Amino acid sequence: MFTNDEINLMCIYNTGTREGLIAELTQMRSYLGAEETELLALTDSVLGKLQGMSDAEYAGLDLFPDY
């Protein structure tokens, strides 16, 4: 469901809850400039997927970075 890049982004901003992660990513997104198209697209993709899932589904994710 999530790409490696999406998982890595989620690991960076993970607060332990789906709603907390959504809030952190939304705040981070507000600091991005229009020229940061790749990060904007990645963030929007993650936010869309997080908003479309339940807290139980989120709890089942293995959020370990793949560096």
| Residue 58: C-alpha distances to residues 6, 13, 17, 33, 41 (Å) | 14, 14, 8, 29, 21
In the chain, domain spans: 4-57
Report d(CA 10, CA 7) in Å as an integer: 5
Q: What is the pLDDT along the chain (67 residues), one digit of tens a residue?
A: 899 999 999 999 999 999 999 999 999 999 999 999 999 999 999 999 999 999 999 999 999 877 6
Report d(CA 27, CA 60) in Å as an integer: 24
Which pTM was predicted? 0.92
| Cβ neighbours, 10 Å, residue 63 | 14
